[in-house]
Structure 1
Amino acid sequence: MLQAIATLINARWIIPVEPDGLILEHHALAIQDGRIVALLPQDQAAACFTPETCLNLDGHVLIPGLINAHTHASMVLLRGLADDLPLMNWLQNHIWPAETRWVNPDFVRDGTRLAIAEMLRGGTTCFNDMYFFPEVTAAVARECGIRACVGLIALDFPTAYACNLDEYLSKGLALHQTLQTEPLLHVAFAPHSPYTVSAPALERIGRLAEDLGLPIHIHVHETAAEVAQFQTQHGCRPLERLNQLGLLSPRLLAVHMTQLEAAEIDRLAEVGAHVIHCPESNLKLASGFCPTAWLDAAGVNVAIGTDGAASNNDLDLFGELRTAALLGKGIAGDASVLPAARVLRMATLNGAQALGLAGETGSLQPGKAADIVAVDLSHPETEPMYNPLSQLVYATGRHQVSDVWVAGQRLLADRQLTTLDLAEALQRAREWGTKIRAGHSA
């Protein structure tokens, strides 16, 4: 007797990510109740299932939804505002003043909608965010149906969001409590960095993270100047400060990490910490180079993020895949490191592992949530076809993403967003652009 299911997708290829490098040809993926039921040859699927919806994607590859492991989503409204500047000049003289003037719940709401539209159209099904008004980010993610880890932001100085550490943490803990029953939404503590959050504050956050079992998402070792200044002021490198405070653990998501010594890489591997690599943002700000090949070889889990669109200037994980692979090879001086399968894993399963979601997403396995991306490889840019996995990393553009599912819900259908009004999101973004442009030039 045929089993009734919600959706059956017949695809030319399926790359489940687990096991590494596996490419299934002429297979089907079955979905029921938001979860993957089976991956099997198409003729067997026809004999087993009767779907409500059946899609035949003869030129497509199915992959797990991409996981953007470091974003400042609503900063998409500042895209292109202050380009071609080094990090601290960019931050202190342009971005922080703009945030002080403009960031409020409406800014975060409209910016997050635009960011989610861009991410879904590029195959991202989960993002790990760090920004102000995280409750607004969570609300927008919920209404759009995307998976998200929302950062409980903390800083040593007052902002439009909170006056002091107590208020940052109070608001964050309240949000954590509110989201307990949300299946697609999670939280992480998000102290900005060791140079903007004091040692006592970081120690307090570390204790809370341990008690609640939450990740700690933080910028670390982003530039050589930052590390040198911290060492002058505190007598140790930032990563050593985190080690002294007990924050080096499997809960740590250390973003950027462009300045690493061999002993630090060994320590990260020893404690099971995660590194979030943002190759294009680091290149654009000339921040340095994350030694991804050495981290990977040492056994450190490396995931990939875009950073915010204000410093990237996009939220395109397909672009990050290619850049991460090529940059990693160039830095290592070895063309064989970071092969395509490994880099795709960094943007899927490794991201899920960093966020504590590997049992739920990151690979196409029966029982996991149906977070799936269909990519059309019949475009001129990806023909002829020798190896679809290599084509994904080295040749594919985000415009080739045709369909996206999160927990079985089709959020992008033949390039059309189904839960988000794109025209409205664009109109609101243009209105913000007009206001910010006038204020920035005043």
Structure 2
Amino acid sequence: MVRLSRRALLGGVGLLLGATSGCLEIPTRMEFSPADWPRPRSDPGQTNYSPTAGPVEAAEVAWSRSALVDPERVLLLADGTLYTTILPDLGDEWSLHGLDAETGETQFRVPRVDTLYSLAETTSYDNGVLLGNGHGLYGDAVLGINPDASPASRRWASTVLTPNYTTLDSTDYTVIDGTWYFCHGHDPAELVAVDVDDGTQRWHREFALDAVESPSVTAVGKRLVTSVSTDERSTMHVFDPEGGHLRTISLDHRWQRLMGTDGVVYAEVDPSPTRPTMGAYDIDEGEQLWQRQVAPTGYIRLHSAVGPDLMLVASRERTGGDDSSLAGGIRLHAFDRRSGDLRWEWSGSHDRFEHHGSAASLAIGGRTAYLIFAAGTVVAFSIEDGSVRWQTTVDGSVSGFVSQPIIGDRRLYFFIQYRGIFALEEP
């Protein structure tokens, strides 16, 4: 049965209700449970942190599913369903799949959806809206998609993204309270707010600064923080949810990859230097709290995650004059997120890394950190002291880039290019 929106139903009976309409209760937005992971990098602040633990004492494969996947594509979890886009076979088309998180079986499929962005709360529908991108059948458009097996899979299509920017990186957007905020373009760069109920643009702000690339954006509480970069430096802008400009923070380098929580935004210096560096900024005061090198000289930052008290940074060793094939060290450093002081570090090695930031990925669930390598090895750490809780390797002989992991209800989900999707659980 097609699920109609509450907005449509109320509009259709408005004349009948007449004077009694004041008795209607406006529905609240759907809420996600702590075990849900409805957005890339977990939350609007893009911290790669979940309060729900994954496997803690040990882990084994609960299920796996072969599929051709791109690790840069999004894997989401909400209410027992995994959402992702899959290319079943060469020559096929990308399609959205809703997978049973317990078994990995497809519950529903929406064809010709090649990019998935987020699952957003809404007051118009009781099950939210999946934000994605589709071609062909839909034309080049951003889509609001039903997150279930309804025959009316598409709720709306919008052209709020220009044809040249119909695909966004996960650092280019965030979702807060039913509004999708994204940055795109560089001539000029702009921040756009879109209502997830119907795909209409609520407001947009252009940046006078000529950006050299699409800006990054994250949420710090209910506020938005963007980083707009020129060739040599960046500027952070702080906005309220309605687009009001609150503050400008000038930075002395190019900064990117924003993460935000508890009034603080964490950013990484452009990775071109050989000294991986991150900094923390108080967005209320507009002041830098700390800045420090977060990995040894000659290492490349891979991924970061911010938990309740620590920021974790994974890095790999740079060898030779190019990064086409890397062998050597892996480091994981834990810093006090308020002071930047080093709390612990771990070092290991790996036989081979591909030239890509997705050669390893990192997330925190509860008090456990999970580091996943492209060859399928997963290492779980206590974030208290960096001790290894367990280590396992998923079956398979073909390595490939690895996606960001997601965590929920003692499970760990991720996919590896050429190999497919994996779910680990505690035995």
- TM-score w.r.t. the length of structure 2 is 0.28
Of Structure 1 and Structure 2, which has the larger fraction of its residues in strand?
2
The structure with higher relative contact order (CA 8 Å, sep 6+) is: 1
User: Whose helix fraction is larger, Structure 1's or Structure 2's?
Assistant: 1
Tell me the TM-score normalised to structure 1 length.
0.27
